[in-house]
Chains A and B, each alone.
Chain A
Amino acid sequence: MNELIDKLKGEIIEQLNLEDVKKEDIDNDAPLFGEGLGLDSIDALELIVLLEKNYGIKVANPADGKKIFQSIRTMAQYIQDNKK
């Protein structure tokens, strides 16, 4: 799990162009949206692309993103549970 979290942080930084953010800046349990990383609705859609591209997981309903993308940990958990 920790390995996945670490890998995911790198992927998120790259996919979302978080140029000034380092892996260690991202708290595993801090909210990804709103405060924290300051992500927005386009980032949420971009994370859906990331799940599909890197892990083959399709999120059909963008509203599900709210739960999945609560934090890095919930996202990693979702990947672990749904990865084919």
Chain B
Amino acid sequence: MRDGRRKITYYRKYGSLIVTNFTNLYLLNIPITNTHKFANSYKFAICNKQLIFLTQESYIIADNIISPLGFSTEENFAQLKQMRTGVQRLEKSALSAEPVCAAVIDARRLDDEFKKLEASKPFTRLEQLFILSISDTLKQNPAIDIRSPKTLLILSSTKGNIDLLDPENTGKFDKKRLFLWETGNVITEHFGNPNKALIVSNACISGVLAIILGKRLLEENNYDTIVVSGGDIMTHFVVSGFQSFKAVSSEVCKPYDAARDGISLGEACGTVVLTNDKTKVKGTAIAVKGGSSSNDANHISGPSRTGDGLLLAIERTLKEANMNASQVAYISGHGTATLYNDEMEAQAITTANLQDVPMNSLKSYFGHTLGAAGIIESIIGIQSMRSNTLIGTYNYNEPGVTKPVNIIKQTTERTVNNCLKTAAGFGGCNAAVLFSKEA
């Protein structure tokens, strides 16, 4: 069956689908309509001279989160279930002259965990996180062949090894390490992966985008396994910048709340491994059903007032997943807890007719983890589907957006069959991705 799978190419100008398995050409008398707009995701197999269409799926076969709340998905999820936050008030730190609330990974634990890997050469803090996170996923599922040419690594990061710019770190590593492509080389070399890592650096939607890219590249059939890893670390660089934006809350951030007054920053790394081979799935099968990105075309730092950019990404994602708004079970929002972001999201969610769907933000647990955010928040969404548990939004007390969205206050048990993850970021970018549980 697998050998029979070939990509379909189609020509709109003929008004029909042309299917080829590279030896025979089939012309199907199917008119091209909107439903065939995403025809690239259709595959077919030839069984008993019959043509069978298959929808190409991308399944999650392993995942990991490293954050101040733990070094595995389970450890993190257990903390979130108890509604414990990783954001702390740091009276004195290298991150900021003034006290700052942030989610920082314990340096000693990172050191201890990394030593266990017995790596042969020095790695930067961020590289250590990437290596630890990916290593954990490889342990979970022996079906992942990291050394295979059919396995691709996608990295998502907004700032990479930006700590190396700090005069305090000068000379510790080669200057080349500042380049994200070099981070990619360092990681692929460590794991013996023969392909050049694909690097996405697209502000705060990087993580969601990286997962969408993973799904799309699997559709192209050049790879059978894609390891998507996203990470960013806390630095004086990033903290000072957001402080200059007057965007950092003096307390643990309060997503969607009436008293919200800015973000909390955090550091984390997360990895999801995707495959198009369902036989590699262990346990509950979770598929990436659709995803899309868009731009507000409005302002480089201010979110759109109407939310129409995010709306576009959501609508396209649902369409690709072949779903309508009433079928969405849960939304993992962006929820940075700035005045304008949360308002923008509420506008988009309401216009998309998703206002009744239970929704949370995890920023008050992890802080805003930039290039990791889309990935670790997706993993929590996936874990919510596996365990049928929705995580309450820490620090959310009173509705604070002008549209009535359904923010989850307390962690609750209920059936969760799918999850819509959204993100938005500087540069006016938006992204959405939909995960679905298969029976």
Contact = CB atoms under 8 A, between A and B. Distances in A.
Q: Are A and B part of the same complex? A: yes
B301 A42 contact: yes
Nearest to B261: A61
Interface string B234-264: 0000000000111000000000000000000
Q: Could you tell me the dominant secondary structure of chain B's interface residues?
A: loop
A55 B245 CA distance: 19
Contact of A48 (B246, B301, B302): B246
Nearest to A59: B246
B337 to A, nearest CB: 15
B370 to A, nearest CB: 19
A62 B246 contact: yes
A45 B299 CA distance: 15
Contacts of A17: none
Contacts of B299: 40-41
Interface residues of A, number: 7
Interface string B299-339: 11110000000000000000000000000000000000000
Nearest to A65: B246
Interface in B111-152: none
A49 interface: yes
B302 A45 contact: no
B301 A41 contact: yes
Nearest to A62: B246
A42 B244 CA distance: 10
A51 to B, nearest CB: 13
B302 A40 contact: yes
B186 to A, nearest CB: 35
Contacts of B246: 45, 48, 62
B338 to A, nearest CB: 11
13 contacts: A40-B299, A40-B302, A41-B299, A41-B301, A41-B302, A42-B300, A42-B301, A45-B244, A45-B245, A45-B246, A48-B246, A49-B244, A62-B246
The 8 closest A-B pairs by CB, nearest first: A62-B246, A41-B302, A42-B301, A45-B245, A45-B246, A45-B244, A49-B244, A41-B301
Interface of B: 244-246, 299-302
Given A42-B301, A45-B245, A45-B246, 10 more contacts: A40-B299, A40-B302, A41-B299, A41-B301, A41-B302, A42-B300, A45-B244, A48-B246, A49-B244, A62-B246
